[in-house]
A and B are shown apart, each in its own frame.
Chain A
Amino acid sequence: MNRRAVITGVGVLAPGGTGVQNFWDLLTEGRTATRRITLFDAGSFRSRVAAEIDFDPAGHGLTPQEIQRMDRAAQFAVVGAREAIADSGLATVAFDPHRTGVSIGSGAGAVRRLDSEYRVVSDDGRLDLVDHAYASRHLYRQCVPSSFAVEVAWATGAEGPATVVSTGCTSGLDAVAHAADLIRDGTADVMITGATDAPISPITLASFDAIKATSTRNDEPRAASRPFDADRDGFVLGEGAAVFVLEELTGARDRGARIYAEIAGHATRSNGFHMTGLRPDGRELAEAITAALDEAHTSPEDVDYVSAHGSGTRQNDRHETAALKRGLGAHARRTPISSIKSMVGHSLGSVGSLEIAASVLAMRHHVVPPTANLHTPDPECDLDYVPITAREHRTDTVLTVASGFGGLQSAMVLSRPDGSAA
């Protein structure tokens, strides 16, 4: 018996407005949510733009204790998980907590709390030996981000396998892939899965400033994230979470669940080359694409839309373009490709899950989101990146890809299981 994993619920917190509808409106209108950083005074940093969420945890139903205990990223995950459960209708049926697991991705963990806690216990770095008497009693759960899975399990009642997947910038795909694996091999019937990151913090800015990875278009924040554009100058940090209810197909059908998409195939490859460098030929990402398509029993010609990594660094965009040509062959020139990072920024680990959310919405509405700010394509990036405006386009199969530090390359194929509503 071939078990299949399908998405039956979606919850999103993204820059530009929380909730799935706001997210989709932003993407299809091609608006950009990048702006001058307001979360703290970023005046002394090289890059001072980011895509932020105007987030009111109490307004989302978090209690004062939950707000004190959880880093912003954990708060995003819990709010996203609740929205996904509500969307799936799972709350109204008797699901078995023992057969329900959690797989949450995060690249940067609780970095905002670590930054602020460190300032206190070290007295702004004056103390080499930190003063533990000033530490929050929740410091361990900030240092070891498995606490994110704990919070989501508590919020949803899951008592099956629970974990955090932290593969850096591929976490958002890899966490959902891990969840799909657990459903397929019979370990779980339902998985609460997705990814969260809230990395906009001084230490994050400083670490990307140090390697000049982020954009310095500080005077034009809305135009700063420009994947595939000749005038791009680095990525723009973002934040957010997307959480899904993943179910085994038969069980989902039996309860009459709305089925968004099947996780039909996925693969991760390492470049075994460099922690931050990419080989220009894109071989490993292409190999991940091929392996994901094989697992999905799908050929390149079936891919209707590619949700790109498209971070907006020169190195990535060229690498990815080469990988798509290698992995999809001639079809790379025929299929629309876009990067929502142009609008919601690059939220490190979580953005892969936001891109899965954008992909399933594209399948639902047969509209593909654009790449904003793409006015003058880099001559080496010569594919159809859907510049500026969204496009109506028949979308039944989506390829979404991610690339990250450590040399990690991931690809996932989403498809419409036969017989599910178009």
Chain B
Amino acid sequence: MKARTLITGVGMATPHGIGVADSWAATRAGKNAIGRITRFDPSPYPSRLAGEIRDFDPRDHLPDRLVRQTDRSSQLALTAAAHAFEDAGVRPADVPEYGGGVVTAAGFGGIEFGQNELRNLWSRGSRYVSVYQSFAWFHAATSGQISVRHELRGHAGVLVGDQAGGLDALAQARRRIRRGSRLIVSGGVDASLCSWGWAAHLATGQISAGEHPERSYLPFDRAADGHVPGEGGALLILEDERAAIERGADNVYCEIAGYASTFDPRPGDGREPGLRRAIELALADAALGPWEIDLVFADAAATARMDREEAEALIAVFGAFAVPVTAPKTAIGRLCGGGAPVDVVMAALAIREGLIPPTVHVEPSPEYDIDLVTTHPRPASVRTALVIARGHGGFNSAMVVRAVD
């Protein structure tokens, strides 16, 4: 019997706010956080909406020297990580010297910092490039900074799997805990809302051109025309069950009970996408039957093809209208590497609060036979939840969380 991996603390930085209380209150109320971009002038671009984190001054949360040497994505992640440690009530003395680690997902890395330094290089010359560029831009910056700040000397990891990467990071953390780590802070944060990152989003052709914040990111809706990107993410404290009991952890949310990831066949191959297999393998890993899953957090890509694939996979595994499905990300946008960790926190809170947060703004299309929870939160006894995340190119990851008695 493998020891369980518990979620014992959570920290968030999302367009709904910094900190779990704000994010959950806004989510359960179905509040919208998508709006016209303010971080740069969006008027020259065909899409102008995003889920931004407003009113975040990194100096309120981090020492100046750290702010100077970090990209916004790392600043948000460091803030969320500190909240997660506080939420878990972990003191440094609770963790043996090499027993604590960090595994994060990154998508864009430090892209805004990178844009500034690319501008310095090409408009002014190489001497004007920051001394921090070499370690603010790369994808390992956030894991490195968290390990330095919290003196975590155990395992360190960084995975890039686009939107699916956040679940892959949590799974690597669980794997390392099973192999001897006691505590790992894990999750992901992305922040790509600079004009350079925006050009990359636009290049996918999958960004909604909607003008109305409440009618733009519309998965499983006839009007679906792509997603709205957002910024932020979540960091979670994962602990070995015995280690958590030993230190007297008193804020256990749930356990990570199952996980799997697959990759789609090559485009044009004609075979079924890998998503159903990822869900089935994650359920098998959790030793749960489909009838034992109380709630699904959908990937909700909001393109006709991806929505159909996801609905078909859910129906194949669970049956038509057999399980409540939700995608609270319609209120904040898709957060790339930060998206799935936020959904895992939402799942943990749904279990704790007995409430399914809604998929706001969406009028479900009758062509999808899924029970999408829209508009209002739905009270429900949630003991288990499945989180789905898919990434550009064919990544499919699925994770099951389960209540702990």
Q: Does A44 count as interface, using CB distance less than 8 angstroms?
A: yes
B224 interface residue (CB < 8 Å to A): no
| CA distance in complex: A267, B99 (Å) | 12
Q: Does A102 contact B (CB under 8 A)?
A: yes
Residue-wise, chain B 137-163 has the 8 Å CB interface mask toward A (1 for contact) of 111110111011011111111111110
Partner of A161, one of B117, B162, B263, B336: B263
- Which residue of B44, B155, B172, B260 has the most chain A CB atoms within 10 A of its CB atom? B155
B264 in the interface, Cβ–Cβ < 8 Å? yes
Query: Which residues of chain A from 88 to 123 have any CB-CB distance to chain B below 8 Å in the complex?
Result: 97-98, 101-102, 107-109, 114-115, 118-119, 121-122
- A142 neighbours in B (Cβ, 8 Å): 200
- Whether A203 contacts B175 by the Cβ 8 Å rule is no
- A131 to B145, alpha carbons, bound, how many Å? 32
Q: Distance in Å from the Cβ of B232 to the closest Cβ of chain A?
A: 16
- What is the distance, in angstroms, from B6's C-beta to the closest C-beta of chain A? 19
Interface of B is mostly: mixed
Are the C-beta atoms of A162 and B395 separated by less than 8 Å?
yes
Name which of A9-17, A49-57, A365-373, A405-413 contacts chain B.
Answer: A405-413
B258-293, CB under 8 A of A: which get 1 and which 0? 001111111000000010010000000000000000
Give the residues in chain A near B201, CB-CB below 8 Å. 140
Q: Which of A129, A166, A206, A407 contacts B133 (CB 8 A)?
A: A206
Contact present for B115 and A118 (CB under 8 Å): yes
The answer to whether B109 touches A109, judged by C-beta atoms less than 8 angstroms apart, is yes
Q: Across the interface, do B44 and A129 meet the contact criterion of CB distance under 8 Å?
A: yes
| Contact of B93 with A by CB under 8 A | no
- CB neighbors of B among A163-178 (8 A): 163-168, 171, 174, 178
Q: Is the CB of B137 within 8 A of A207?
A: yes
Minimum C-beta distance from A349 to chain B (A): 9
Contacts of B106 in A (CB 8 A): 166
A126 interface contact, C-beta 8 A: yes
- B-chain residues with CB within 8 Å of residue A291 when the two chains form the complex: 98
Most buried by B among A136, A146, A162, A206: A146
Chain A residues, Cβ within 8 Å of B392: 140-141, 144, 146-147, 150
Q: Which residues on the A side are within 8 Å of B266 (C-beta)? A: 154, 157
| Residues 1-25 of chain A, each 1 if its beta carbon lies under 8 Å from chain B, else 0 | 0000000000000000000000000
Indicate if A81 sits at the interface (CB-CB under 8 A).
Answer: no
Residues of chain A lying within 8 A (CB to CB) of residue B144: 168, 270, 275, 405-408
CB pair B199–A146 under 8 Å, yes or no, is no
Task: Please report the C-alpha to C-alpha distance between residue A165 and residue B117 in the assembled complex, in whole angstroms.
Answer: 24
Stretch at the interface among B7-15, B25-33, B124-132: B124-132
Shortest distance from the beta carbon of B104 to any chain A beta carbon, whole Å: 10
Indicate if the CB atoms of A269 and B154 lie closer than 8 Å. yes
Contact of A407 among B119, B147, B262 (CB under 8 A): B147
Interface residues in B234-268 (C-beta closer than 8 Å to A): 260-266
Segment 406-422 of A: residues with Cβ below 8 Å from B: 406-408
**CA–CA, A101 and B111, complex, Å:** 28
Q: In the complex, A275 Cα to B160 Cα: how many Å?
A: 20
Interface pair A118/B196, CB less than 8 Å apart? yes
If A140-B204, A168-B144, A210-B129 touch, whether A272 touches B153 (CB-CB below 8 Å) is yes
The contact of B140 among A98, A157, A168, by CB within 8 Å, is A168
Q: Mark B99-122, 1 if CB is under 8 A from A, else 0.
A: 001100011110100110111111
User: Would you call B196 and A121 a contact (CB within 8 A)?
Assistant: yes
How many angstroms from the CA of A157 to the CA of B123 in the assembled complex?
Answer: 43
Q: Which B residues lie within 8 Å of A162 (CB)?
A: 161, 261, 263, 394-395
Contact (Cβ within 8 A) A125 B198: no
The docked-state distance in angstroms from the alpha carbon of A203 to that of B260 is: 37
The 8 A CB mask of A160-204 against B (1 = contact, 0 = none) is: 111111111001001000100100010100000000000000110
Interfacial chain B residues near A161, Cβ < 8 Å: 168, 260-263
Chain A nearest CB, measured from B310 CB (Å): 18
Asked if B318 is at the interface (CB within 8 A of a chain A CB), the reply is no
A101 to chain B: closest residue by CB? B263
A130 and B196 contact, Cβ closer than 8 Å, known pairs A136-B203, A144-B336, A145-B139 = yes
Give which listed residue, B156, B197, B203, contacts A408 with CB less than 8 A.
Answer: B156
For the complex, what is the distance from the CA of A273 to the CA of B147, rounded to whole Å?
Answer: 8
A340 → chain B, closest Cβ, in Å?
22
Number of chain B interface residues as a range: 35 or more
A386 in the interface (beta carbon within 8 A): no
CA of A291 to CA of B179 in the docked complex: distance in angstroms? Answer: 11
Residues in B with CB closer than 8 Å to A145 are: 139, 160
B147 with A272: CB separation less than 8 A? yes
Q: Which chain A residue has the least Cβ–Cβ distance from B178?
A: A185
Q: Which residues of B contact A276 (CB under 8 A)?
A: 134-135
B156 touches A406 (CB 8 A): yes
Q: How far is the CA of A210 from the CA of B196 in the complex (A)?
A: 23
Beta-carbon contact of B109 and A138 below 8 Å: no
The residue from B131, B160, B200 contacting A163, defined by CB atoms under 8 A apart: B160
Cα distance, A98 to B130, chains bound together (Å): 45
CB neighbours of B134 from chain A (8 A): 207-208, 210-211, 213, 276, 405
B148, A275: Cβ atoms closer than 8 Å? yes
Cβ-neighbour of A269 out of B123, B140, B155, B159 (below 8 A): B155
Within 8 Å of chain A (Cβ to Cβ): is B393?
yes
Nearest to A151 among chain B residues (CB) is B393
A125 and B200 contact, CB distance less than 8 A: no
A268 within 8 A of B: yes
Residue A254 interfacial (CB < 8 Å): no
Contact of A118 with B262 in the complex, beta carbons under 8 Å? no
Q: Are B199 and A130 in contact (CB under 8 A)?
A: yes
Q: How far is the CA of A24 from the CA of B393 in the complex (A)?
A: 35
Known: A140-B392, A142-B200. 8 other contacts (CB 8 A): A114-B114, A140-B204, A153-B393, A163-B165, A206-B129, A210-B134, A211-B134, A408-B140
> A residues bordering B, Cβ < 8 Å?
44-46, 97-98, 101-102, 107-109, 114-115, 118-119, 121-122, 124-126, 128-132, 135-147, 149-150, 153-154, 157-168, 171, 174, 178, 181, 185, 187, 202-203, 205-211, 213, 267-276, 284, 287, 291, 404-408
Some 25 contacts from A to B, beta carbons below 8 A apart, are: A109-B160, A114-B114, A115-B118, A118-B118, A125-B120, A125-B123, A137-B203, A143-B111, A146-B161, A166-B106, A166-B139, A181-B175, A181-B179, A185-B175, A203-B114, A206-B121, A211-B134, A268-B156, A269-B153, A270-B154, A270-B156, A275-B69, A276-B134, A406-B143, A407-B148
**Residues of chain B having any CB pair with chain A under 8 Å:** 40-41, 44-45, 69, 98, 101-102, 106-109, 111, 114-115, 117-127, 129-131, 133-135, 137-141, 143-145, 147-148, 150-162, 165, 168, 172, 175, 178-179, 192, 195-205, 260-266, 274, 277, 336, 391-395
Pairs A-B, 5 closest by C-beta atoms: A406-B144, A125-B123, A150-B393, A125-B122, A166-B139
